[in-house]
Amino acid sequence: MFSQPNPWKFGKILTMPDTCPECGQPFEMEVGFWYGTGYVSYGLSFFLSVATFVAWWMLIGLSTEDNRFFWWMGLNAVFLVVMQPWLMRLSRVVWIYFFVTYDADYKQTAVKKFDYETESYYRAKSQEGEGGTQ
Ligand SMILES: [Zn+2]
């Protein structure tokens, strides 16, 4: 899905072809399509923070008597910054998956496109719940 395999090559983090080289699926399905990835990466960052918090709690422990909690906060912030390129990409993968699910018959079926002329687009959008509200 991304042109540069290494997410930590800065400047190329979000470089993508316009369509999937394998099935022709367009990636940016409407103007501002990737705006919704903000919510996805927020959620992913939150879950990563919970994970590091639990790991820190079990491996290092927490106490009100010292600064261990603040060490976790600082290191977790650094960790999230370092993971950012990977998170940005994962967010796009998760986001487009809300709209385009894997299709084993992709060679026979048409690519997914948003159709602004039909009511069904808006119906489908409200049925997708939080993933489709944007
Ligand atoms: Zn494809």
Would you state the structure tokens that stand for residue 42, as one six-digit string?
Answer: 């927020």
Q: How far apart are CA 13 and CA 84, in angstroms?
A: 10
Contact 39, 117 (CB under 8 A): no
pLDDT band at 61 (very low <50, low <70, confident <90, very high): very high
Q: Name the residue ranges covered by the structural domains of the chain.
A: 33-102
Q: In this predicted model, what pLDDT tens digit does every residue of 92-129 receive, in sequence order? A: 999 999 999 888 888 888 888 776 544 454 555 556 55
For residue 124, what pLDDT is reported? 55
For residue 112, what pLDDT is reported? 83
Residue 30 confidence (pLDDT) above 70: yes
133 C-alpha to center of ligand 1: Å?
24
Return residues with CB closer than 5 A to ligand 1 (ion).
20, 22-23, 25
Q: How far apart are CA 116 and CA 25, in angstroms?
A: 18
114 C-alpha to center of ligand 1: Å?
16
30 C-alpha to center of ligand 1: Å?
17
Mean predicted lDDT score pLDDT of the chain: 86
129 C-alpha to center of ligand 1: Å?
24
pTM attached to this predicted model: 0.78
